[in-house]
Amino acid sequence: MEYHNPVLLKESIEGLNINPKGIYVDVTFGGGGHSREIMKHLTSGKLFAFDQDEDALKNKIEDERFVLIKQNFKYIKNYLKMYGALPVDGVLADLGVSSHQFDEAERGFSIRFDSFLDMRMDRNTKQTASEVLNTYNEEDLKRIFKLYGEVDNAGRLAYAVFHFRKTKSIDTVNDLKSAIANCVKKGRENQYYAQVFQALRIEVNKELDVLQELLLQSLDVLKPGGRLVIIAYHSLEDRLVKNFMKSGKFEGEVEKDFFGNKLSPFTQITRKPTMPKQEEKDSNSRARSAKLRVAEKI
């Protein structure tokens, strides 16, 4: 099972500040690149990994110190409690879609293939991107394109989808391209399609809701001094992570006590995000937009 190189590997492992006897969680196992590196730093410690994608299970690490849980990471607290693994020393999340998912044509994540518009990370869930395009009303389509895709002409885009589907169902990548051809800005086609696909993928997988769940539960899951390490790939994710690490809230407003001291559950280890070096960007296209942030629970 071909998975590409893990993004910001050295930097994320350093961010975890691994205790060889500690308990760690990789909530986005994928090809197992980050997990394998964490395992190298453990002696009697343990690593729990989460992934809801069936394909990722084929990469399981055969080691008694490793447990792979086939679940969405929004259930992190429940499962770690079930395994008697709370509290933990560190949580790592590498968000977004893996290179493998992009490269599998039938998954419908990529504009490179004319495949069915699926986009489910967990193929046991029901709602596909095709279903969103064919059943959402015009206002809801506009909302997700504007909010999740940050598309400039979201209203026009929603109108185009809504009216195209009256004559033909939008089931494949080429159907979608035909439906929205008049909305795409010349010379920016790939960027525009990427924004539309991002919006659909976030909606199908409820990605921002799930990320908020993870961040909130990290407060209960981490022990004092435990590290939260998150790699985000677009501004919507990164803003949530930045605000939460700064204030323990998603709006980012830091509360202060009577004496003016900041009240936050975290110490920010990275004030500004760590970005991949040019060499990594050149060798791994997925790394281009990556931003890594690290915080330590107080």
Global pTM? 0.90
User: Six-digit token pair at 79?
Assistant: 């499962």
**Cα–Cα distance between 209 and 202 in angstroms, integer?**
9
Report the sign of the C-alpha dihedral through residues 235, 240, 245, 249, in that order: positive
Cβ proximity of 58 and 51 under 8 Å:
no
Which helix (H) or strand (E) is 256 found in, with range? strand 255-256
pLDDT at 114: 80
What separation in angstroms does the CA of 98 have from each of 23, 86, 138, 190, 260? 25, 28, 30, 19, 43
Give tens-digit pLDDT for 40-94: 999 999 999 999 887 778 889 999 999 999 999 999 999 999 999 999 999 999 9
Range 110-205: architecture per CATH: Orthogonal Bundle (1.10)
Cα–Cα distance for residue pair 222/225, rounded to 1 Å? 8
Residue-wise pLDDT tens digits, 245-269:
999 999 877 788 888 887 899 999 9
Confidence at residue 260, expressed as pLDDT on a 0 to 100 scale: 81
Would you say domain 9-99+207-297 falls under CATH 3.40.250.10? no
| 256 vs 148: CA distance, rounded Å | 32
> Counting every residue, how long is the chain?
298
Structural domain spans, the chain: 9-99+207-297, 110-205
Assess contact for 284 and 6: CB atoms under 8 A. Answer: no
Nearest to 26 by CA among 123, 124, 98: 98
CB burial readout 262-298, b (16+ within 10 A) else e: eebbbeebbeebbbbeeebbeebebbebbbbbbbbbe
User: Are 194 and 201 within 8 A, CB to CB?
Assistant: no
pLDDT in tens, the chain (298 residues): 455 689 999 999 999 999 999 999 999 999 999 999 999 999 999 999 999 887 778 889 999 999 999 999 999 999 999 999 999 999 999 997 654 444 554 555 566 678 999 999 888 888 999 999 999 999 999 999 999 999 999 999 999 999 999 999 999 999 999 999 999 988 999 899 999 999 999 999 999 999 999 999 999 999 999 999 999 999 999 999 999 999 999 987 778 888 888 789 999 999 999 999 999 999 988 899 999 999 999 9
Hey, what amino acid is at 294? V
